[in-house]
Copies of this chain bind each other. A is one copy, B any other.
Amino acid sequence: MSENNKQKAVLSVTEDIRSKILDGTYPEGMALSQVDIASTYQVSRTPVREALQILAGEELVEIRDTGRATVTTISPESFLEKCELRALIEVKLLELSIPLMGTEDIAKAREINESLKKCAPEEWTPLNYLFHEVLYKPANRPLMQNVIKDLHHRHYARLKSFILSHRNTPRSLREHDELIDRCERQDIEGACYALESHIMMSAYALAEQLKAQQLKRRQTASL
């Protein structure tokens, strides 16, 4: 780090690799060589190794017993199960939240959904997460909130390219509106049901796309 970048090397390297994995620059299964990364960032292998350990803890890279590191792959099955888990926790959070919601929470949610309706494609994922976060904040369950955030960031974010190509966003926005309405009416059961459908419907659609792409990739790879 030749610049006036006083930040520790481990941190910047970790962040950069992480974002490259999330945005697909480093695709599934790609080998992450310590020496290559080290020369890329003009640092020694020491901070690189630490960065890879950290990312392994985040399940973004896998370190085999030979020491070789690769970008983890997302199987459609494990993706669906993560969505199930997400749905389970988010529904619980919503159930706890609704009785504690104030008018300002509802207003905030509406505001975010309006931004979602006219946001740029790259802004969709973080804004969408923000929408859900606002809904669960009254529940005051920092740990569960964190698990959700992780599921979003470490996993969901990697499907950004699908999400953009998937034409379900208009429906998502309608579902968001419906969700807000039910929260406002204190219709806990209805809101929870709507949320679970919202999550799982898009989950099934995305899993299908994932399966299709992996099939295609495997075919082109075998040529």
Contacts and interface: CB of A to CB of B under 8 A. Distances in A.
Contact of A147 (B49, B85, B141, B143): B85
Nearest to A141: B81
A114 B144 CA distance: 34
Contact of A144 (B85, B143, B144): B85
Nearest to A89: B88
A57 B53 CA distance: 9
A81 B144 CA distance: 8
Interface string A126-160: 00000000000000011110010000000000000
A175 interface: no
Interface string A39-57: 0000000100110011011
Interface string A52-85: 0110111000000000000000000010011011
Contact of A89 (B58, B82, B85): B85
B88 A92 contact: yes
A178 B92 CA distance: 26
